[in-house]
Amino acid sequence: MTIIKNVSTQDLAQRNQLLQNCLRPEPLPYPIQSEYPIVLNPDCHDYSHCLYDEDRVIAHANLWPRYLVDDKGRTVAKIGLIGNVATNDEYRGRGIMSKLLTYLESKAILADMQALVLWSDLSKFYQKMGFESLSEEWHFHFKNKHASIRGLHEIKEGEDLSKDDLKRILDLRQSTPFTLKRNIEEFEELARIPNTLFLITRTKSGDIAGFCVIGKGYDMNGVIHEWGYDNIDELPDAINWLFKTFNFGEAILLAPVSISKSKAKFLKRFSSRQDKTGMCFGRILTNDEYVQRSLKNCFIWGLDSI
């Protein structure tokens, strides 16, 4: 018999082992919970929902409440991010995850969430569950060009960024019509995810003039998933620094489709290929047309995805 409930404190080790086995089977130098420091934090176990067979955790998914905001920071909608979806191998093919996702949808509705959002390659499964492609993003592909490098400062894993640095980075981040609200305290947590590199461009006086965020734990190696510059002409230097420092055959920059025509033209000029693709999957739970349009035109930055 299966029972759905929030993961208990004593069952956190079971949950983490299930996620490690299902999502990170290869040996890694860090536990999976360090890749998701907010939703898998032991103090935030209300975000974790498990299916149990008696006392055994057999399936898991996070439901993380977030707020969609416009470019003025005004709240548009409350939504739920679903992630870390995993089912024990012995229980696959029995409709276990469908049952858990149906449960999460009911929880979301009770919490006044207006949409569910997730990332997955299993498009057919989620389409059967009522999810559809939600919004679009640009993928700009870059090859090694070995250009000159100017004024870059690498922030390595484990090196702290100050609150002022993080605020400046958020202020520099490419503007989008709609995105997820992120406060400085959350940003501090997300910035410490293993294998996450902040590449900072500074002025002669030491002020931050641009930044890229590359990598995120096990995911997004060679992917620039957050960025912003006072002068976008300095972005190619950061990309070339990646090629000189790491053995990437290609780097990919993710960008909102709402970037200006001039910036899109600039990125196309330097990139070897450009793709416009679906950003994620969503299940909209409201009839509010403004919220629906906002969700279909939003851009979610890489550190916020789970």
Question: What are the tens digits of pLDDT across the range 82-95?
Answer: 999 999 999 999 99
Query: What's the confidence (pLDDT) of residue 134?
Result: 95
Rounded Cα distance between 306 and 287, Å, is 26
**pLDDT for 41 beyond 80:** yes
Query: What's the confidence (pLDDT) of residue 158?
Result: 45
pLDDT in tens, 210-225: 999 999 999 899 999 9
In the predicted model, what is the mean pLDDT of residues 182-202? 93
pLDDT in tens, 151-168: 566 555 445 789 999 999
In the predicted model, what is the mean pLDDT of residues 115-141? 95
Calculate helix-pair angle for 235-245, 261-270, nearest 10 degrees: 30
* Residue 304 falls in which region: left (phi positive, over 0), alpha (psi -120 to 50) or beta: alpha
pLDDT in tens, 228-284: 999 998 888 888 888 888 878 899 999 999 999 999 999 998 899 999 999 999 999
Question: Can you tell me whether residue 222 is helix, strand or coil?
Answer: strand
Question: Can you tell me whether residue 101 is helix, strand or coil?
Answer: helix
